[in-house]
Each structure stands twice: as C-alpha cells, then as structure tokens.
Structure 1
C-alpha cells in the first residue's frame, strides 16, 4: 500500500499545499480582522498572510473578496477556489469551479466541486460527464473509479458500477478498498448475499477490519434477519477493540429491536465514504493537506458523519489549529458513539492552547459519566502531571488502575506514569514500588530503568544497581541523550569523573539544548580541572531556559561556588 500511495500522493500534495498554505506549524497565531476597505491589495495580502498562518476561514474570506474585486485575475481565481475548499466551503466554491473547468476540464479539485453540486442535486449524468474528463493517473486513478462506481449507482446502472470498481483491481493493495465498496453497492441494490460475500472477504477477519467495514457487514446481517450473526460480529469486534464504543452502541440498539443503521443510504453517501477512505489512507501516509481536502469533500456530501469530523479535527491538531479542532469536536453530538473520543481529543486541544481548567472540567465530567472507562482518568492524570499537580495526578492514575483491575493487569506504562507522579509529589516509597512493579511486568524497559536508576543516584543510594540498570538502558537506547546523561551522572556521583565526562559529552551531542545535561557536563569538567570548559557549559545551560532552581544553582557556580563532588560509594 505504501509504495502505491506515495506514488499517487506526490502530485496531489503540490496542489494541496497551495490550498492550505505553507503549513508553518506555528503555535502562536496573528489575530486577523476583516479589512474595512474594498482594496484588492489589502484583501489579497491579508489572504496570503492567513494562508501562511493556516487560518483557512480568513484566507477564504479575504481571497474570495479579492476575486470579486478582480474577477479576471486567473491566478487569484484558483487561489480563492482552493482557499474555499480548504475551509470546507465546497458549495460556495462551485461558481469559481465551473470557471476553472472552462479553462481546464482536467482540473481535479474543480471537477470534484462540480460533481459535488451535481450529485447533491441528483444530476448523475452531469456528474459522470465531469468525472469522465479526468485522466486516470496519480491520485485520480484512485478517485475516478470510485466516483464512477457511485455515480453509476445513482443512475441505477449496477453492472457499470461494479465494472468501474474493477479498475482498482490493477493494484493488488487496493483490493480491500474495491471489495468494500463492491459490498456497499451490492447492499444498495439489495443483493444482500453478494454484499455479505464482498464485505466478509474485503479485509480478512471482519473482527479485525476497519470499523466501518465491520459495521457495514453487521448491517447486512441485520437486514437479512440474522440478528444473532450480527450480534456475534459486534461482540467479536468489541473483544478485539475493547476501547471502541461503536459496537456497544450497536448491541444496545439490537437489544432494543431498532432497525439497522446502514453505512451507506444514498449514492452521495457512498461517494462520501470513498472520499473518507482516501482521506484516511492519505493521513496514514502523513499527507496532511490532501487528506484534509478529501475529508472536506466527504463532509460536503455527508455533513453529519462523525468519523469524518473526527478525522478533520485530528488533522487540524496536526496543523496546530487547536481552536478550530475544538469547534469540530464540539459539533459531534453527545449521543453519538464517537462523542467520547471527540471529547477526549477536545480536552487534549484545550490543554495545548493553555486552557487547562477547561480540559480538566471536561475530563472530570467524563470520569463521572462513565464509571467503566479508564481513559478519561488516564488523560486527566497526564494533564495534571504536566500542570505539576502531582498528588492529584497520582490520584487520577489510582482510580484508572482500579477500573482496569489493579496493578497486576494494567501494564508497565500506567505504573510508570503513576510512579513519576508519586516521585514528583515527594512520595518516594510508592514511586519506587511502581517502578519496580513496572520492571517486573516489562523487564529491561529502558525508560523505567532510566527514571529509577537516576532517582537512586540522585538520592545517593543503590549505586551498583543503578549503574547496571543504566548501562543496560543505554545498550537498548544508545541515541537517547537523557538515558546517556543518567549513566554519566552515576559515574559523577561515584567520583569516576573521566567516565562521567565521556558519557556526558555523548549526552550533550544527543541533546545539545538541554540545560540540565549541559550543567552536568560543566560539573564533570570542573572535577577534572577543565575549568574554562566547565564555565562554558554552565553559560550554555543558562541560555537554554532552565528552571528557576537550576538557574540559581548554575549562577552560583559561575559566581564562585564549587560544584558538589561525587562520593566513593559502597553499597
């Protein structure tokens, strides 16, 4: 799959970059205000600035206005069109799209915008005429067969729809996608037996298939009156994916005797599903911009789809557009099976923009809402730990561990997190117990060994065990500067200064801008008489935004304080 997709993504990415801006990934954004004048230059320049900041809403507004002022500017016409698409305003882009198609009938995004309008109006033949003008190369070799298949479905031409899908069979990696849509189309035409065969075989074991494929097969079982088979599928999927809330939703609906919810109800929904599949594939290849565009087209045809909204929100997080991501997540209703994940993502976005209280309030509400789920508690603990509320973080992790069944079954990661919270809260006995339990569950886990070994050394105890532990951690993660620093600090603490310098120099090479590692190397240089180099490292430590405590200590050494020497330790 990867080789095929990387080949077809390249030409689309170049187009998408012009639609979404330069992807500057900036956390701080300029505040735009709509120009009061009607000048072309003011709107055009503001639109370009908004694109650089990934503010697609402002970019679309400014560039559309600039295009209205100068409708004959061809370059601006395309800029305004792409900005509208990037902002999800597909319907608003249609008039410009038709102008672009007159200039170039093979303009992919313009054709898709016109197809969008024709399909929503059920003008399937006009949509077919538009898509048939596209050459099947690059990304269009994936889009065109799927679009034709669903347009032929709208025209009630079942055989032509299935023939169109055969074009995807030339690339074996796309067979699952082809069979999935074959199953959806057969289900649309009420060939439920054929649909079952296609959907069951598309991704191998249905319980390991993508969620939508499993839901579609379950819906076919239900429509055939095979509720028990549907229930078994939902239960099997839930066993393999215990954190998914979609299957419990379907099981509850089935128990209430409610009608099945089909993945696809109309040709427009089918094409929206195809666009979502393409967007997901592009996202998995880290092709963020084209993935967002495909998701926008999908939402235009199927505005209420929550999985597509989730994907749009996640892409916006990658683009560091956290405010916009929150708005998307909030658009998912709370009675949706995808609301839980949306709210977890919203809490993460709140934390990213510094609204920690909003994140905590949201997560605490979720914790009380579902007493069976640990994920909101784990995320709450993470946010509290980042906010240096260590005792509260440990309490959240405690409750999560209780919900999961106790420390013997939770795995090393959660014990490691709780151990850090305990250590930072000053409760070393509990922290040490968690780290040791984590190593019991996952022997040779380098990050746990690093934290525990470094803590022992810093407290002046268990030097031999710490040295062995950190040597092993360095063997496992030789490129991790923090772990190499820990080993160097062991040697410093036991007065093996030459060995300390060797390791700490490696650590600084790996993490040159870490203030603590530079400070450690300065101390080690001092102990072997390399005083000028020591002072240089301490000055570097001050230049890398150290904590207040470290800044005071380093400045004292620069003012004449002698660094604490290590001790010859015997365990």
Structure 2
C-alpha cells in the first residue's frame, strides 16, 4: 500500500526524572471548556482534568484557585506548583515552592529553582546560592547545581569560586564542552577576553561545528577585540557548514554595516538562563518533554525575551499538541529577529495542525515572496497543499523549490519523493515515475520509494516482475512495515497467486489492524480462495475504520454481491 507521508523515525531515549510526573496529551485536540466554579471541588476537578490534558494554562488557573481555597492540601499543592511552572508562572509559584521545601527539603529540584528564581529577582544572590547548595549532587542536579553555583558566584564577584564550580562537570566527558562554554561566558563577564576566547574556541572543537550560541559568543569576542576578520571567517565557515542558517548571514550583514555584536556580556541572571536553556535542550533531545518545558520556562523567567528559548518552548508545546499556545509563543518573536523565519515556519506548521490551512498557506506564500533565495517555505507549502489534496499546486510548489535549489540533480531523494507523490495523485504518472526513479538512483535501498513506485506499477497493471522484486527487497529492509508488506501481498494478488497473497496480507493486517485498505485487500484475497465468510468479515472491518468515500463505495458493492476483481497471471 502507498503512503502519502514520509515516515522517517528518529529514535530517542526517555530520561526518567522523579521530580516531575508524566502528563498525557489531549490527543483529540479539542478546545478546553472547563466548568466555572467558585468552590473547591469544581476548580480542583477542572484543574486536574486540564493538567492531564497538558492544558497548563487552564490547569494553573483552576488549581491555583483551588489551592487558595484549601492551602493545606499536600497533593493539591504539588499539582498546582507543577501547573504554574509548566505554564511559565514562576513568580506565582514561589510561595508554594517555599512550602514544598519545608515539607521535603533537598528533594524537590523544581521547588529549589523556583525559590532561587525569586531570590535572583530580588538580587539576593547569597540566599539563592544557599538554596542551590541544598541540592544533593545526583541525577539532573549534578548538571544544574554546578552551573547555577558558577553564575551565582559570578553575581557575588567570586571569580575563582565560579570557575571552580564548573570543574565538577569535567568529570563527565560528555559535559566538558558545556563546562568550557560557560567558563568562556563567565570569563567574558569578568573582562578576560583572551581567557574567554580560549575556552569558547576549545569548548566544541571546530567552532564552525559548535552549537549556534557558542559560535555566536566566540564571534562576539572576536568583534569586541577588534578582530573582525576572524569573526567574519567564523560566521562564513559556520554558514558554509550550515547553509540553511539565517543567523550567520545576519551577523555577516551586520559586520558589513559596522554595527556592534548583539551578543554582549551576559549578566549573572542571563548566564544562568543560558545554562537552563542548555539543560532544557538536552532534556528535549532525550524526549523528556515536560521537564524540558519546565527548564525552558525557568530560563525565560530570567531572560524573558530570548528568541531561542521561545522556539524551544514552542516546539515542546507542539509535541504536547498545544498548538494555539505554540502559535502565540512563535508570534511573540519579533520579525526583525534572525530567528523570526524559523518561528514563522513553526507557526505555519502549528496552524495546519488545528486545520487553519488557509492561514498557513497565506503565511508561507508571504515568506516565499520575502526570501526568493530560500526553498524551505516552498517545501512546507508543498506539504500543506499535498495534505489538503491540492496535488497539482503541491507539485508546482515542490518544483519551484527544486528550481531554487539548483535543479533535480542537486536535491535529495526526499523532495523528489514528495513531488512524485503529488504528481501521481494529480494523475501525472509520467512525471511521477521519473521522480521516483531518480530518487531511487540517489537512494537505491530506500524502502518507501520502492514501495510507492512498485505499488503504483501494480495499480496500473505494469512491471509486475520488477514490482515483485522491488517489494521483496523493501520488505526485507522493513519487515515490520505493514504498508510495505501489504504492497507485496497485493502484487501476489494481481498475479493471481492468491494463497501467497493471503499469507502476506494477513501479516500486513496483523501489523496494522485498523487500516481500511489493508482489511479490504485481505477480504478480496479471502474471497478468491473461497473463504467467503472471512472475506465479508474483513470488508465490514474495513468499513468500521473510516475509509475514503471511493473505498466505502467499493466495499459496500462487494457486500451487496459484487465480486472483487481478479488478478492476472500475465506479467510484463
């Protein structure tokens, strides 16, 4: 069976954090409509449901009300605290955080961070340091504690203690670059530009391969030392390695105009915010979604306008299916920011998730005209148009993107695959086949290309032998992919090898039990081998899984006595 979307999975490892419970997403994407109540029970129940739905704004609102009505409720206190910090209401959480620390000293990381946040706001850095020092040095604390200590010692003008605090990160080689990065930022704060340059240059090896923020920080050091040529070389090298980056072209243009660097010396508060952002990014990469959001919210509390942190918050909210909130975050990034482009791409993606496709298309068309040198908005437009079954327009968008990238020979297989799908769905088979074959030249063992091309051949009654061999190879590469297994079974069916088709199609349905097309195919195969009751059962199952209008019509006809089409033993 063909698929209209790329299924490219990136494996992630879950990171267990006892400090935060797991909250389930609102998978139905329904608007939240919780009861209004002045009483404890109504607010508590509404807040509890909202929290289980990842509606942190509503959860914070209702649980905060309930907590005021019953301040002695321990479970409620914890729920309210988590909802408040997840929603970014760090200041509102401080009183509850202090109560939690009284009840569970040294056991609540996020409560420690909330109290520390309040002390930093009050510029009571010694109190903040004393609170951080209560954290046991284990788990996530072993990363947060030394970074927080370093920046709080910095706020207290204790340079040697600040640098010494980072040394504990060096024990873990994987954290050594993070330690050197913050060492460079702290040395910069104390005016030691040479020391800062050495630390930042060594943190991640080749600066052109470093994280963006580290490369920017080093470039700013070069600029403040009057070494603009070194800064320009760094920005250009980074851009060469990351050609889609919009930030480095921004810095290069700024250099030409003689404007000062945006990255100035951090304050202790913003330096700690940078550390929280680094940790949030690590958590996000490990798929620890809720803790990542909380750490990003702590970062924004100390540095409210940071665009990179807002991008991370928005991306986590997308994972949680909180698309309206993600859109609001993306919209808060000003258009003159070098990060605005990515924010608007993410905004368009979120708009499509809540079926505001016209708004997404309008935004993407504006961006396409704004930057005729870029192809990403065109590719995303092609995806939206394809998802909304505007296949000819989708193919046109992909074609323009391919032109901007220098032609079909200069793009990867994915873009040709997408355009091929659009051409095929639009009835332009010759163009589709050409794209699939070229994509397969670029990636000969790509099972999804083989599946789509071979299934299309079979659907058109052509190239059965090639399709069969191609699908055998695809199944060998992806034995647990039900759609590819179905495609091979359907080739057997078309060739009249019904017993082999039954075996293959039964396996496909066992892998994906709820697909209407797979169940319909199995029903047809059962019919051809005389298993009529089982055929009827599979066709009825197909109807229960919301088939397309055309498929529904075909299945109903078979249930009313029309025989399914037979295969053919002929090959060509």
TM interval, short-chain normalised = over 0.9
Contact 1:432/1:452, CA 8 A, preserved across alignment:
yes
- Within 2, Cα distance between the matches of 1:502 and 1:532? 17
- Residue pairs, 1:321-332, within 5 angstroms: 321-332=322-333
Query: Which residue in the other structure is 1:318 paired with?
Result: 319
- Tell me by how many angstroms 1:6 deviates: 7.8
Shift of 1:230: 0.8
CA distance, structure 2, for counterparts of residue 224 and residue 66 of structure 1: 56
| TM-score under structure 2 length normalisation | 0.95
Structure 1 residue aligned with 2:6: none
Aligned to 2:9: none
The Cα shift of 1:201 comes to 1.2
User: Secondary structure of 1:342's match?
Assistant: helix
1:232 aligns with 2:233: yes
Q: Does 2:20 correspond to 1:16?
A: yes
Specify the SS of the correspondent of 2:409.
coil
Q: Work out which structure has the larger RCO, using CA pairs closer than 8 Å and 6 or more positions apart in sequence.
A: 2
Q: Residues of 1 paired with 2:36 and 2:399: CA distance?
A: 53
Who is 1:173 aligned against? Answer: 174
**For 1:165 and 1:199, how far apart are their aligned partners in 2?**
14
Matches of 1:76 and 1:461, distance apart in 2? 65
Q: Is contact 2:462-2:571 (8 Å) kept?
A: no
In structure 1, the partner of 2:394 is: 393
Query: Who is 1:205 aligned against?
Result: 206
Report the alpha carbon displacement of residue 36 of structure 1 after superposing the two structures with TM.
Answer: 4.5
Shift of 1:114: 1.9
Q: What do the CA deviations read for 1:140-199 (whole angstroms, capped 9, x no partner)? A: 111111101000111111100001111212222211111111111111111111111111
Indicate whether 1:362 and 2:366 are aligned: no
Work out whether residues 149 and 161 of structure 1, in 8 Å CA contact, stay in contact via their aligned partners in 2.
yes
Conserved 8 A contact 2:523-2:537: yes
The change in CA–CA distance for 1:481 and 1:233 in structure 2 (over 3 A counts) is same
CA contact (8 A) 2:25 2:321 kept: no
Q: 2:538, 2:146 → 1: CA distance? A: 61
Conserved 8 A contact 2:35-2:42:
no
Change (3 A) 1:100 1:480: closer
Residue 428 (structure 1) aligns with? 429
- Mapping of 1:245-264 within 5 angstroms? 245-262=246-263, 264=265
Q: In 1, distance between residues paired with 2:539 and 2:180?
A: 63
Q: Distance in 1 between matches of 2:77 and 2:453?
A: 60
Structure 2: gaps of 5 or more residues? 1-11
- How many angstroms does 1:528 deviate by? 1.9
Q: 1:94 to 1:570 in 2, by over 3 A?
A: closer
The aligned counterpart of 1:90 is 90
User: Match of 1:134, SS?
Assistant: coil
Single out whichever of 138-147 and 312-321 deviates more from structure 2.
138-147
**Partners of 1:263 and 1:73 in 2: how far apart?**
46
Equivalent in the alignment of 1:157: 158
Counterpart CA distance in 2 for 1:492 and 1:283 is 45
Q: CA deviation at 1:23?
A: 1.8
Scaled by the length of structure 1, the TM-score of the pair is 0.95
* Distance (whole Å) between structure 2 residues aligned to residue 529 and residue 42 of structure 1: 59
* Structure 2: distance between partners of 1:253 and 1:23: 45
Contact between 1:215 and 1:263, CA under 8 Å: does it hold in 2?
no
After TM superposition, the structure 1 = structure 2 runs for residues 369-380 of structure 1, keeping only pairs within 5 Å, are: 369-380=370-381
In structure 2, C-alpha distance between the alignment counterparts of 1:493 and 1:78, rounded to whole Å? 61
Deviation per CA, 1:500-525: give whole Å up to 9, x if none: 22221221222221111111111112
Q: Are the counterparts in 2 of residues 360 and 380 from structure 1 also a CA contact under 8 Å?
A: yes
Deviation of the 1:264 alpha carbon: 4.8
Deviations 1:526-550 (A, max 9, x none): 1122222222221221121111111
Query: Does residue 62 of structure 2 align to residue 40 of structure 1?
Result: no
1:414 aligns with 2:415: yes
Cα separation, 1, equivalents of 2:119 and 2:486: 63
Return 115-124 or 358-367, whichever deviates more: 115-124
Distance in 2 (alpha carbons) for counterparts of 1:341 and 1:265? 24
CA contact (8 A) 2:185 2:266 kept: no
Q: Give the 3-state SS of the residue equivalent to 2:164 in structure 1.
A: helix
Distance 1:34 1:521, change over 3 A: closer
User: For 1:6 and 1:398, how far apart are their aligned partners in 2?
Assistant: 37
Cα distance in 1 between the residues matched to 2:295 and 2:525: 55
Return the offset for 1:33.
4.8
Q: CA RMSD in A?
A: 1.7
Cα offsets for 1:46-98 (capped at 9, x unmatched): 21121112111111111111222223333333332222111101112222223
In 2, the alpha carbon distance for the partners of 1:443 and 1:73 equals 62
- CA gap of 1:532–1:225, structure 2 versus 1, over 3 A, is same
1:82-129 superposed Cα distances (whole Å, 9 cap, x missing partner): 221111011122222233333344232222112112222322112112
How far is the alpha carbon of 1:458 from its aligned partner? 0.7
Say how many residue pairs are matched: 560
User: For the Cα contact (< 8 Å) 1:56–1:83, is it kept in 2?
Assistant: yes
Corresponding position of 2:548: 547
Deviations 1:534-569 (A, max 9, x none): 222212211211111111111111111111111221
Question: 1:263: Cα distance to partner?
Answer: 6.1
Q: Is the 8 A contact 1:34 1:62 kept in 2?
A: no
Higher mean displacement: 420-429 or 471-480: 471-480
* SS state at 2:18 partner: helix
Contact residue 29 and residue 53 of structure 1 kept, 8 A: no
Q: Paired residue for 1:61?
A: 61
Which deviates the most, 533-542 or 452-461? Answer: 533-542
Separation of aligned partners in 2, 1:567 and 1:76: 67
